[in-house]
């Protein structure tokens, strides 16, 4: 069943039945137009207008209990006294987008009369409604403008995509093969609290459970998958006949089966815990990420989840999203850059061109040479997003970056890589990121915007900190201090 966003319009009985009939007709016209808009990635469902406290409570309770409903777009066509909304909103568990629009774009200067004024009261009806949401401390998105305006449609499309991601996060199952990399802090955290706040469950399986499934892969399955590798990638010399390639195929077959059978949307592993596995999964993890799975290395379950959620939020878009690590700096006075990469596991959805499949020794872990895809990242505006556990709460952190062309060949670097210019500049961005306690791992995305991470954080009720063109350190540090206070008071 398609996931739905319900379009709910508020009014009241002050104006007589004719006006309410017109309100309902206009609301249906708008919701149908939004549903027909291909940029909005969910079904928009028109619901009967609500005009009394009971109708509002019934609509909100129904939305909360409906498994297909992932959010509400609410619109106050007329005035809808907001005390009527208290009971309903108290029972609502789905995110809200308040569309502050008006059916008529323009004021009909020559014909406007009091009937028109009474029918088109969003300007004050929306404020009354917004007041009660603010008073009830309900976070929501407010979109202002005419419903046919492309800028309004874009905001609704972005918000709908985030609602899909939030729905995914609340139902996500993350499996960890092995524990966290020993002694590492930021990849660890409170999995119980993560389930309470985000809904996602994070549980472990011994690597042996996975190895048992990997070992069930048949030779015929492995042969077939090796053929797919040869078709989809440029195989490096000798790779096609290399035992490591067959081993990578065996791991991929087992890993995919394990994830499918367990209903997992994301996973972690660690090179420190690979008992019974011949090599650290490189190519298999790259391919599974490209299919939409979330992944976090070294036991990093928070970024495994975040990669998955961002992939859901970016469905239908053309670019890509990957697990990422800030790896190495280029401190050129003409413009500092960061080279992003990982030992192996960068998603080919962000590649600039057809990846090359190579087999090389891994410097750590003491296992057989793993197979990996090697490529340069595409160019364009992107974000690095992080989710960290600060002990008393979670924090999202986002840095806007520009992925730039990689001019050099780097013939001795056998991993996928991306080169970016961070906003406002690398020095400020890194200083701010470090002050904010951001992870060395991130979810890197061409498709998801910083605004969308903000919407996600608001749906989750979690802090979000931004590093962008306007970031200035003194104000940024003050923002962090204020966040300590605000989120401390809220108890999140």
Q: Which residues bind Mn ion (CB under 5 A)?
A: 297-298, 325
Q: How far is the CB of 25 from Mn ion (least distance, A)?
A: 56
Q: How far is the CB of 441 from Mn ion (least distance, A)?
A: 6
Give the nearest residue (CB) to Mn ion: 297
Tell me whether residue 226 or residue 280 sits nearer to Mn ion (CB atom). 280
Q: How far is the CB of 119 from Mn ion (least distance, A)?
A: 58
Tell me whether residue 46 or residue 293 sits nearer to Mn ion (CB atom). 293
Among residues 314, 376, 381, the alpha carbon closest in space to that of 351 is found at 376
Q: How far is the CB of 241 from Mn ion (least distance, A)?
A: 31
Q: How far is the CB of 296 from Mn ion (least distance, A)?
A: 9
CA dist 366 and 368 (Å) reads 7
Tell me whether residue 31 or residue 268 sits nearer to Mn ion (CB atom). 268
Tell me whether residue 5 or residue 415 sits nearer to Mn ion (CB atom). 415
Residues 6 or more apart in contact with residue 226 via CB below 8 angstroms: 240, 245, 246, 249
Q: How far is the CB of 219 from Mn ion (least distance, A)?
A: 33
Q: Which residue has the tokens 């524990």?
A: 179
User: Do you find a cis peptide bond into 386, omega within 30 degrees of 0?
Assistant: no
């Amino acid at each position: 069943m398609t996931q739905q966003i319900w379009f709910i319009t508020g009014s009241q009985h002050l104006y007589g039945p004719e006006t309410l009939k017109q309100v309902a007709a206009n609301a249906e016209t708008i919701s149908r137009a939004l549903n027909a808009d291909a940029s909005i990635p969910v079904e928009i469902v028109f619901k009967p207008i609500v005009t009394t406290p009971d109708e509002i409570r019934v609509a909100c309770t129904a939305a909360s209990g409906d498994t297909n409903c992932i959010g509400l777009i609410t619109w106050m066509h007329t005035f809808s006294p907001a005390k009527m909304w208290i009971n309903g909103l108290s029972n609502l568990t789905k995110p809200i987008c308040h569309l502050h629009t008006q059916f008529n774009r323009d004021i009909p200067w020559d014909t406007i009369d009091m009937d028109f004024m009474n029918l088109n009261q969003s300007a004050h009806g929306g404020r009354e409604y917004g007041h009660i949401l603010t008073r009830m401390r309900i976070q929501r998105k407010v979109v202002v403008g005419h419903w046919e305006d492309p800028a309004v449609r874009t905001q609704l499309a972005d918000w709908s995509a985030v609602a899909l991601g939030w729905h995914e996060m609340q139902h996500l199952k993350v499996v960890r093969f092995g524990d966290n990399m020993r002694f590492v802090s930021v990849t660890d955290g409170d999995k119980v609290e993560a389930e309470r706040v985000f809904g996602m469950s994070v549980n472990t399986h011994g690597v042996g459970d996975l190895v048992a499934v990997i070992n069930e892969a048949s030779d015929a399955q492995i042969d077939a998958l090796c053929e797919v590798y040869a078709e989809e990638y440029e195989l490096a010399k000798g790779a096609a006949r290399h035992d490591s390639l067959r081993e990578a195929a065996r791991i991929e077959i087992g890993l995919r089966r394990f994830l499918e059978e367990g209903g997992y949307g994301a996973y972690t592993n660690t090179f420190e815990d690979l008992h019974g596995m011949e090599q650290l999964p490189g190519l298999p993890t790259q391919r599974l990420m490209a299919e939409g799975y979330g992944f976090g290395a070294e036991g990093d379950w928070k970024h495994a989840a975040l990669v998955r959620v961002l992939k859901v939020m970016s469905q239908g878009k053309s670019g890509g999203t990957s697990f990422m690590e800030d790896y190495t700096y280029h401190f050129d006075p003409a413009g500092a850059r960061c080279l992003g990469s990982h030992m192996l596991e960068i998603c080919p959805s962000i590649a600039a061109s057809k990846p090359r499949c190579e087999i090389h020794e891994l410097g750590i872990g003491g296992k057989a040479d793993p197979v990996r895809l090697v490529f340069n990242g595409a160019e364009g505006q992107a974000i690095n997003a992080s989710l960290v556990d600060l002990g008393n709460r979670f924090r999202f952190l986002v840095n806007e970056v520009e992925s730039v062309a990689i001019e050099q060949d780097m013939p001795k670097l056998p991993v996928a890589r991306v080169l970016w210019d961070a906003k406002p500049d690398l020095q400020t961005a890194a200083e701010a990121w470090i002050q904010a306690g951001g992870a060395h791992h991130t979810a890197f995305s061409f498709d998801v915007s910083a605004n969308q991470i903000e919407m996600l954080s608001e749906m989750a009720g979690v802090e979000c900190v931004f590093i962008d063109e306007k970031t200035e350190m003194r104000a940024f540090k003050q923002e962090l201090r204020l966040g300590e206070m605000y989120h401390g008071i809220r108890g999140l």
